[in-house]
Amino acid sequence: MDAVAPAGSVEFVRLVALACHDLRTPLATVNGFAKTLLRGEVSDDRREQFVGLIEAAGDQLSDLLDLLSLAARIEGGTYEPALREVHTLELATGDDPSVTATGVGEVVAVDEPAIRRSLSSLASAARRHGEVERVTWTVSGRELNLAPVTAAAAKVVTAEEPKDLGALVARLAIEHAGGSLALDGETLHVRL
């Protein structure tokens, strides 16, 4: 395992800067719609829509804070994964309908929430930064292959360019668990 990055390290500073950037958008959504609702200039139909947007932004804030907490525990050397046996195909299957998973996996002992969130974050980064509608995990035992990872998304998904907090934390979590990430063409190979 690599040495823990000190609080002043370049990697830690990038992580904090990226987290601050990613937290601004949902926080601005909550503040903007809450202020609009407080002014009382909104119809009942719009009020319900605005409350839904506030709720979604609150969920996004919670997810980002969970990622940041995981990264801080890993970087600080206090992360104690709660290992659980789970099937790799199950880990790759998420709630996002634009991400599919196929193949034949196997049972691995991992911190399920951290690894599931990591795989979901990698797929989301590949879609968002690669500007593709759908991505697929192809599972073969302990290896999960994500495609397509376009040239536009490659450095973001592999965390070489820290532009996506989820992808950066995914790399930290997977490597901390003894796994690896490698890009080959438009396929990201994740080994657990």
Please state, as a whole number, how many other Cβ atoms lie within 10 Å of the Cβ of residue 100.
15
pLDDT tens across 9-21, in order?
Answer: 667 778 888 888 8
Q: Which of 68-72, 91-95, 134-138 has the highest mean pLDDT?
A: 134-138
- Record the pTM: 0.84
pLDDT value of residue 21: 87
| Per-residue pLDDT band at 31 (split at 50, 70, 90) | very high
Domains contained in the chain, CATH given: 10-76 (1.10.287.130), 84-191 (3.30.565.10)
Q: Provide, rounded to the nearest whole percent, the portion of the chain with pLDDT above 70.
A: 95
pLDDT value of residue 16: 83
DSSP conformational letter for 43: -
**Alpha-helical segments (H) within the chain:** 10-39, 44-76, 88-92, 112-130, 151-157, 165-176
Mean pLDDT (whole number) for 135-155: 97
pLDDT value of residue 10: 62
pLDDT value of residue 9: 64
Least confident of 43-47, 85-89, 94-98: 94-98
pLDDT value of residue 182: 96
Mean pLDDT (whole number) for 87-115: 92
C-alpha to C-alpha distances, 130 to 28, 57, 127, 149, nearest whole angstrom? 25, 23, 5, 7
